[in-house]
């Protein structure tokens, strides 16, 4: 069975192209699901799905930069994914290291700034070194922020934030009455980042999977049946069109 990916389309849908800037998402978050199933449906090893998923990452990052999306956050590796076979995890670490090295020129050319959220335990030192190098090299880039969630879990993030706050209470620099939503937000891994306006999930699964639990409280959700290696620029445009057509009331009423 063919493993080829459709050629990139550079045509921007008219609806997205002419939408008012306020109608388009500033921050898009994506649960990149279905790499393994994409491969299995083609009688290929699961790692081939991950390999082809990198092409979708590249397409999506470039398109978000072209559309001046303020931030793109990609769920690369969850804290639960460590349960997978060691050979698959080793390959994922190899892909991550390779991405950090091979994409630097493109990231610099397009002015993309890289940030990483999640716990660093378990990630090989060689991979962490390349991550740190890419973060440092791109830190002053003025364009789209590419945030990679690696060894990330939403509950773990909230737990770490609460520990940080509890230490301040123990030290006497903070009282319980001073704890509010803003303080919690500032204590999360995503401190200083805008909350996602749009959350995309591929592979048709209707769940959040412990991703940005605090931050997506008012995000618009968009799910596609396509597996992540099949995700194209046109799918990104469809999600953005759906977002632009929704009435975001944030608990209030439509005027």
Q: Which residues are catalytic?
A: 33, 81
Q: Is 38 helix (H, G, I), strand (E, B) or coil?
A: helix
The residues facing 199 across adjacent strands are 29, 221
Q: Between the CA atoms of 175, 178, 181 and 186, what dihedral angle is there, to the nearest 10 degrees?
A: -70
Tokens encoding 116 = 């990483």
Q: Is 165 helix (H, G, I), strand (E, B) or coil?
A: helix
Backbone angles phi, psi at 222, to 5 degrees: -140, 125
Q: Which residues of 207-240 are buried (b: 16+ CB within 10 A; e: fewer)?
A: eeebbbebbbeebbebbbebbbbbbbbebbbbbb
CA 165/CA 162 separation, integer angstroms = 5
Q: Which long-range contacts (CB under 8 A, 24 or more apart) does 21-26 make?
A: 23/243, 23/244, 24/67, 24/69, 24/240, 24/243, 24/244, 25/69, 25/196, 25/197, 25/198, 25/220, 25/240, 25/243, 26/69, 26/70, 26/71, 26/194, 26/197
Q: How far is CA 116 from CA 5, 9, 46, 73, 96, in A?
A: 28, 29, 25, 9, 12
């Amino acid at each position: 069975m063919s493993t080829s990916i459709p050629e990139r389309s550079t045509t921007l849908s008219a609806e997205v192209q002419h939408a008012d800037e306020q109608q388009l998402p500033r921050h898009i978050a994506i649960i990149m699901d279905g790499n393994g199933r994409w491969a299995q449906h083609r009688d290929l090893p699961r790692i081939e799905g991950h390999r082809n998923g990198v092409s979708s990452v590249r397409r999506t990052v470039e398109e978000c930069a072209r559309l001046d999306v303020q931030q793109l956050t990609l769920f690369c590796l969850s804290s639960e994914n460590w349960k997978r076979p060691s050979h698959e995890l080793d390959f994922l670490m190899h892909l991550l290291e390779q991405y950090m090295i091979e994409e630097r020129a493109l990231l610099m050319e397009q002015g993309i700034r890289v940030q990483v959220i999640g716990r660093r335990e378990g990630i090989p030192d060689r991979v962490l070194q390349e991550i740190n190098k890419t973060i440092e090299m791109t830190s002053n880039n003025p364009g789209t922020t590419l945030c990679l969630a690696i060894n990330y879990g939403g509950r773990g993030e909230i737990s770490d934030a609460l520990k940080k706050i509890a230490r301040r209470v123990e030290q006497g620099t903070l009282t319980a009455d001073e704890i509010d939503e803003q303080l919690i937000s500032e204590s999360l891994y995503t401190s200083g980042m805008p909350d996602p306006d749009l959350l995309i999930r591929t592979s048709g699964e209707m769940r959040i999977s412990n991703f940005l639990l605090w931050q997506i409280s008012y995000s618009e959700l968009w799910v596609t049946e396509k597996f992540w290696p099949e995700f194209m620029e046109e799918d990104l445009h469809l999600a953005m069109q759906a977002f632009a057509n929704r009435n975001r009331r944030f608990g209030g009423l439509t005027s």
